[in-house]
Structure formats: C-alpha cells, structure tokens
Structure 1
Amino acid sequence: MANKFYFLFILFLTYTYFSTNLAASELDILTNYRLNGINNIEKQMDKELANKSYWSAYLKNKDMKFGYIESYKNILTCNKSKSNLLVYAKDSNNTYKLTKVYSAYTGKEKGDKEKEGDLKTPIGVYNLVKKISNVDEFYGPLAFVTSYPNIYDKYEGKTGKGIWIHGLPIHEKRDKFTKGCIAIGNKSIECLNKHIDMDKTLLIINKQCNYKKVNINAISQVLSQIYAWRYAWKYNNLKDYLNFYSDDFIRFDGMKIKKFKSYKKRIFAKNEKKSIIFKNLNVIPYPTHKDTYKVMFDEEYKSNSFSFKGKKILIVQLIASQMKIITEK
C-alpha cells in the first residue's frame, strides 16, 4: 500500500508541474493510469528514470565538483603533488565549500600504490572505515583507517593495507614523507576529528588537482544507464541486463563473467516480481582512469525467494557512451 501512495504522490507532482502545458508523455502517463491502474504507471516511471534527458535536467544546477553525491557531508581531497589535505563541507544550498586546508606528508615514492611496501600513497576514492583513538604515539593522537584496498584496487591486483590519515610523532621527529599513509599535524588531526562525521566523509586522493571539472553529460549518461540496468533487472530482461557487464568483469569475490552469466541466468529463470530501490546514490569520476566511475548506493531488493538491504558498489566505464560494469560488490 505504501508503494501505491508513493507512486500516486509522484503522479500528483508530475501533474502539478505540467498542468499548464502537458507534454505528450505526461498525457500518456495519466491515460495509462486511468485505464490500467498503478502497476503500469510504476513500470512507465521506471523506464523514464532511464532517460538521459531527465538526468541532464535534474543535474543542471547541482554542485558537481566531485561528481553526483547524495550521501556525503564532507569531501576530503589529498593533492599529492602539493602535499595538502583539503576539507570540503556541504552547506545549506547543497554546495561543497572549502573549509580547511592542512599541510600533509604522503608516501616517499611517487605514483599510485601497487603493492605492499612500495612506499606509495594510493590514488583513488575511499571511505573512512575506522577511527583509532588509542594509537602508538608515533602516529600522533589518533588515526582514521581508509578503505584501501577497495574493490577497484583488488580488481587491478593491488596489494597492501593499513593506509591511514594520522598525526605526527608526539615525542620525536620524523621524515617528511610516509610509507604510504597521509600524515597531518596533531592539531590538524584533532581539528579534522571535530569537524567531520566519519561515516559521511569521502576521501579522494589524486596526484595533482584536488578536483577537476566534471563532465555533466557523462554523469547523466551513467545515471540513466544505472536505471536502465535496474529496469532490465527488475523486469527480468536477462539479455539487456547482462549487456551492461564487461567481458572483463570480475566480481569482488573473484567470480568471472562466464560463471556470473550462468548464475544470473538461473535467477532470472524464476521470473519473479522484484522490488528494487536505490537510495543515497553517488557517482564519482575515478582519478586514475578516464571515463571510469565509482558508483555507490544503498540497495533495497525484495523478491519471493530473496531479500537484501545494504550497500552496493559498482566500478563502471563509459565505452562509446555505453556503460560497462567491470566489478561490483
């Protein structure tokens, strides 16, 4: 019943917005509802969410410094070439404003981290997964543990662990570089701790610029195809669904594309009615590869045989305007 009220509400908003100048598509929606009820409307709405023109219009006045972001209040950016850590906070206008700039030490060696012990700070998009308050005094008063290696790092065969944002030794001097972590002053790490919500903070590490101008057209393309992927998934179109996966796809647990296709074929054969809802959606251009994006959202999935509620991560590439998923978790 709640779903029906939700779609009726959307229908009402659609009608209110276009009441003075209804386009053909809005007339079709109203007529479809009048003749066939809410179920057909739901399917039509799902299809409209896969329309790139919707997302292009929706993103027109959004702050796109770092991509499309729904669920993060703070963005930390580490510019390795300038040795700094910047803090951006979302204001009441949903715009990210620069609030703090900290000097930072990064890895002794230049370039992207590839393996354990290479003394490089990774380049990528990470979460803060843990705060350590009782830390060895060499690392200052506290440390934040990052999510390195993330699923993209693992997909690329990168190794290593223990990449932190931490402070400086309390009773001794240290070199002006790290083994791969990001180190800032002790007053800075305490200040950072006071001004961020760890669970709502994203860390972007880049070798040069703190952020680059995001291609809104590409983000619109990704968002529309995320919902086209969802549409195929929800309405049991196996061919269209699998077309969104790269031939080089490897799932987080090591499952490769051939086995993945067989697995999905068995599931789609059940032809079950599904409810699939995406919330807190984020699409972040990946700093290491052109036309590559990290997509994160909360997924609520329900069918007769299975239900899931949790976080979903995709790494996708745009190849000739077609989205291809290369790994997921």
Structure 2
Amino acid sequence: MRSWFKIATCLAAGLYLAPPANSMHWQRGSPVPPQLTERAPSLAADTHPERVIVAALTAVRQNRLDDANRLIDALLATRPNYRLAHLIKGDLLLARAQPLNQLGNATPTSADKLNDLRQEALMRLARYGAPTPTTQIPANLLQLSPSQEYAVVVDASSARIYVFRNDQGTPRYLADFYATIGKLGFGKSKEGDQRTPLGVYFVTGHMPRAELDQRYGVQAELYGVGAWPLSYPNEWDRQQGRTGHGIWLHGVPFDTYSRAPQASNGCVALSNADMSALAAMLKPGTPVVITPTIEWLKPAEWQVRQQAARAEIDAWRRDWESLDTPRYLSHYGRNFRVGNTDLNSWNAQKAQVNAGKRWAKVALNDLSLFFYPTADQPMLMANFEQDYRSDNLENQMRKRLYLQREQGDWKVVFEGAGR
C-alpha cells in the first residue's frame, strides 16, 4: 500500500492524478471517512473545514464523485467564501462531461491564482499525509517559563502553526492550523523583502479590528479579525543588521476563507476562524518560534537536550557568581558583541567590575529556553528575570542570552536586556 505521505507528495504534478490509498487509519483529526459522507451537511457544520476539503479531494481521487459533491456543497453552504472549495466544485461539474486530470480543470482563472490554490490544497493534504506526532515535542521549545501558558511554533516550510500548552515547563501539543507566510518565503533580512523572519519572538499586544480600522482605513481589511504584533526585530536581528517592522499574526480579508501558503508581506496569516481560536491562547509574552522546519523529539530525547541546555546556563550563572573571572569569561565566544562592545572590551570591563567585589549572588527566575532557528550554525536562546546582588550592587532585569557552538562548546555571543 502506498503511504499517504507519498501520495501527498506526488500531488504537485496533478492533484487528481495521484493513485488513491487502499485503506486509511482514521483517528482524531483525520479527514472524514468515506462511510460518513452521507451526513455531509451536518459534518460540514460540525467539522473543521480543512478536514472536509481533504475528504472531498480524497473522494475525487478515489472516483467517489457523488461523495465529493455532497461534501463540497455542504462546505460551501457554511463557508461560501472558501475559494478552494469553489475550485473543486467547478471540477466536479466538469467531471460530468470529461475525466479530471488535475485540480482546476474547469476554472478560467490566472495561472498564478490557480497555482496558489493548488499549493494550498497540497499543503492541507500533506498535513493528513504525515500526521502530527502529538506525543513528541519540537526541538525549538526546550523549556517554558511559568508565565508562558502557551507557545506557538510556525513551521514555515509546511505552512503550519502548532500550539503547545505549558505542562510545568514541558510543552504539550494542543492544536495546529494552516497558515500563510511571506510571498518570497522565509529568512527576512531587510525592510520590504516580503519574507517572514526566522527566530524566537514574543507577542507584544493585540490590535483589535476597530483599532486597525482607525489606523489603516480600508487597508485594515487585509487583517480580518485583528492582529497580534510580534517582537521582530529582536536583539539578535538588530545585531545582525536585519531591518523591517510590523511582523504580526493576523486574520485574512472577510471575502476569502484563507490565502495561499505564500501570500503575505512577511506576516503569518490564518483564517479568521482559526485566528480567533488561536487568539484565546495569545497574550503579551507568549513565545512564537518561526522555523524553516520542525525537528520533532521523543520525550526522552527532548529531556536530554533540555537538561544539557539548562546545565549550560546554570554553569554560566555559577561561574559569574563565583567571581572567578577567567572561568566566568570562558563562557563568552570570540564572536561576542553587544553594540560597540566586542569580546576584548567586555573581558576588560568584567575583570575590573569583579575586582571590586567581595561576593555576588545571581538568581535566574522565570527561565525559558529555546533552540534558536537559524540558517547556519546552531544557537540557544535563554530568556529570564535576572536578580543580581553583591556587596555593592543590587539589580533586577529581564535578560536574554544568545549562544552559538564554538569548537564543540556553547559560547555566549550576545547578552542584553530583553524587551
């Protein structure tokens, strides 16, 4: 039997030409099983539209056109603005006169718009061809702090957003949604490049539709139910000279159910219904990791990586607290830089400060740890409330550390206040 993933992969050449699966294991989150399509109206009302559209595409590929018709008609009755569903409906009408060979046989639309809809169908099918490993954890989420009730991971390559709840520091899968990213993909580096950034960001607030209307007028229609701004550019982005602003999670125009996988100016967009569902889990400080692809770890593997990352941060804290300056400074890499301060200046400054102290205590509270998504060498990011006390200074601040691999060891390459 050919696997669902292989079937979904070959859809790029023609969504209706791929051979059908002979059987399917139905689980929660799977498309609607064939034997239930006679209940299409109630299913379309009670089931997520994505599951219904995938079931309809599957029915077409299995030559169950009556089932596909019932599903699409019921879906359009509840989601009349679902353009992909209209495209499939046109094909089903054409199928009465001639065989179907690819998605969009009957639609007189531009090649670009047709390709967008085909790509959306492919991405949605792929979600069910390779089901989410819900018992596993993304490598990017190494530890969530007590203040972070939820975390979001955007898999940019698969146009998918995953939501995790915080179970005493361990991320647990909660939900996932189809999403749109930048027109030119990901890896943002400058203003206006129409790419979605890669990195670890935090929700900074909420802009309801009324506020967007007041600020942007008719342009606010682009954002649908509202927008949730992210902290791009972060400290590392600015250090690397990346520019731009206004990277948000937001909805879509009300005249369409969803947009193509790559259609925004750099933001991450969801259908209005999905954005509203996600919004219930977003508040200022919620982490949003945008990564090219997700590395899924079994719980035991994740625990090993989490403990190793925590050990690195705790060793840095202990060695700073010890006032053993050479040992403390050994945690900083040759590429360390904060503004105009390079490693040599940092070392001289810290040696002078430590020389004037008799004791120091450093506590790291509300700690969260992330394996930072980059296009080159691996990075860690630590986010915490720092409580520093010594015989001549007391200081509390929100701080971020960024670490890179250097000759097999993690070294701090940026240290500074976190917004």
* Structure 1 length-normalised TM: 0.73
Distance 1:145 1:224, change over 3 A: same
Distance 1:163 1:315, change over 3 A: same
Distance 1:197 1:169, change over 3 A: closer
Post-superposition shift, 1:285?
Answer: 1.0
Q: Compare the two structures and name the one with the higher helix fraction.
A: 2
Post-superposition shift, 1:249?
Answer: 0.5
Post-superposition shift, 1:114?
Answer: 1.2
1:178 to 258, 261, 264: 264
Structure 2 portions without partners, runs of 5+? 1-135, 213-219
> Are 2:127 and 1:76 equivalent residues in the alignment?
no
Distance 2:259 2:369 in 1: 37
Q: Which residue of 1 aligns with 2:173?
A: 98
Residue 161 of structure 2 aligns with an amino acid whose one-letter code is: L
Distance 2:240 2:367 in 1: 24
Residue 401 of structure 2 aligns with an amino acid whose one-letter code is: L
Any conservation in 2 of the 1:315–1:328 contact (CA below 8 Å)? Answer: yes
Distance 1:184 1:292, change over 3 A: same
Any conservation in 2 of the 1:128–1:198 contact (CA below 8 Å)? Answer: yes
Any conservation in 2 of the 1:74–1:89 contact (CA below 8 Å)? Answer: yes
Q: Map Cα deviations across residues 68-91 of structure 1 (whole Å, 9 max, x no partner).
A: 333322121111122121211234
Q: Map Cα deviations across residues 173-212 of structure 1 (whole Å, 9 max, x no partner).
A: 9963101000111122222222x14135211111222745
Q: Which residue of 1 aligns with 2:317?
A: 230
Structure 1 portions without partners, runs of 5+? 1-61
Structure 1 counterpart SS, 2:161: strand
2:238 to 135, 145, 154: 154
Q: Which residue of 2 aligns with 1:125?
A: 200
Q: Which residue of 2 aligns with 1:168?
A: 252
Distance 2:295 2:308 in 1: 24
Post-superposition shift, 1:151?
Answer: 1.5
The CA RMSD over aligned residues, in Å, is 2.6
Any conservation in 1 of the 2:143–2:170 contact (CA below 8 Å)? Answer: no
Q: Which moved more, 1:116-125 or 1:97-106?
A: 97-106
1:187 to 261, 267, 273: 273
Post-superposition shift, 1:160?
Answer: 1.2
Q: Which residue of 2 aligns with 1:294?
A: 381
Post-superposition shift, 1:309?
Answer: 1.4
Distance 1:97 1:159 in 2: 33
Residue 187 of structure 1 aligns with an amino acid whose one-letter code is: A
Q: Which residue of 2 aligns with 1:207?
A: 292
Distance 2:303 2:408 in 1: 13
Q: Percent identity?
A: 25
Residue 184 of structure 2 aligns with an amino acid whose one-letter code is: E
Post-superposition shift, 1:237?
Answer: 1.0
Post-superposition shift, 1:145?
Answer: 0.8
* Equivalent residues in 2 for 1:1-329, closer than 5 Å: 66-71=141-146, 72-91=148-167, 95-133=170-208, 134-135=211-212, 136-170=220-254, 176=260, 177-194=263-280, 196-209=281-294, 211=296, 216-251=303-338, 253-288=339-374, 289-329=376-416
Q: How many residues align?
A: 265
Q: Give the structure with higher Rg (CA).
A: 2
Post-superposition shift, 1:124?
Answer: 1.3
Post-superposition shift, 1:268?
Answer: 0.8
Residue 328 of structure 2 aligns with an amino acid whose one-letter code is: Y
Residue 179 of structure 2 aligns with an amino acid whose one-letter code is: A
Structure 2 counterpart SS, 1:98: strand
Distance 1:210 1:106, change over 3 A: farther
Any conservation in 2 of the 1:222–1:323 contact (CA below 8 Å)? Answer: no
Distance 1:223 1:95 in 2: 13
Q: Map Cα deviations across residues 82-130 of structure 1 (whole Å, 9 max, x no partner).
A: 2121211234x76533322222110011241111111110111111112
Distance 1:254 1:162 in 2: 26
Distance 1:225 1:208, change over 3 A: closer
Distance 1:225 1:175, change over 3 A: closer
* Structure 2 length-normalised TM: 0.58
Residue 181 of structure 1 aligns with an amino acid whose one-letter code is: C
